[in-house]
Amino acid sequence: MDFDFEKKSRKPLIMKIFIEVFIWAAQIAAVIFLAYFIIYYALEKTNMVGSSMEATLNDKDPIIINKLSYRFKEPKRFDVIVFKQSGREHAYYDIKRIIGLPGETVLIKDNNIYINGELVFDPVNAEPMDNYGLARDGVTLDENEYFVLGDNRNNSEDSRFASIGNITRDEIIGKASLRLSPFNFINKLNLKHENEEE
């Protein structure tokens, strides 16, 4: 009986090639999955549109949105958030700073911000407001709503005005975390020093 040694010796080689191809395909699948996860669930790059957040962010500043941040915790007062309101015609994201949290009443008078009747220190370097809008009479937020202001208080369409109004939790895309150029953490930009508290 003849034995085909050549046929026998090919089996380990074929198996080795199969394993290498499988590992290669698994690595590609992992990279694709990771890229998908990062883009849709973790991080996203966008640009600031307009001047409503000056001097914190300028028009066309590239920023990174941390989309994971609010999956594990709720937005906080003075966080800079990125949101997109349903039903709005424009395709770009809005970027503003949270002032009022769900269930609170926001009142602005004499250029001061009051939350539930208590004066709140505004940490942002901002010009005195010319127009308090709806907040002049007080705005009470529902349990899933946030009141936002632009840092450029006299050139910002924000929760003071009916055209924007309060932002709902499901409209928030994520936290504006990094400015890429020049590089900096957004929550460190354009803030008063603590000893400037009035």
Q: What share of the chain is helix, strand, coil (3-state, %, to 5)?
A: 30, 30, 45
Q: What is the pLDDT of residues 24-45, one digit of tens each?
A: 999 998 988 887 777 677 899 9
Query: Annotated active-site positions, please?
Result: 52, 96
pLDDT digit string (tens) for 129-185?
999 999 999 999 999 999 999 999 999 999 999 999 999 999 999 999 999 999 999
pLDDT in tens, 40-85: 778 999 999 999 999 999 999 999 999 999 988 999 999 999 999 8
Q: Residue 88: which pLDDT band, with cuts at 50, 70 and 90?
A: low
Question: CA gyration radius for the chain?
Answer: 26
Between CA 39 and CA 23 the distance in angstroms is 24
Give the Cα separation of 110 and 186 in Å (integer): 27
Which pLDDT score, from 0 to 100, does residue 197 have?
47
Please state whether the predicted TM-score (pTM) of the whole model is above 0.85: no
pLDDT surpassing 90 at residue 7: no
Evaluate whether 176 touches 96 at the Cβ level (below 8 Å).
no
- SS3 per-residue string spanning 39-62: HHHHEEEEECCCCCCCCCCCCCCE
- Give CA–CA dist 152/166, Å, rounded: 18
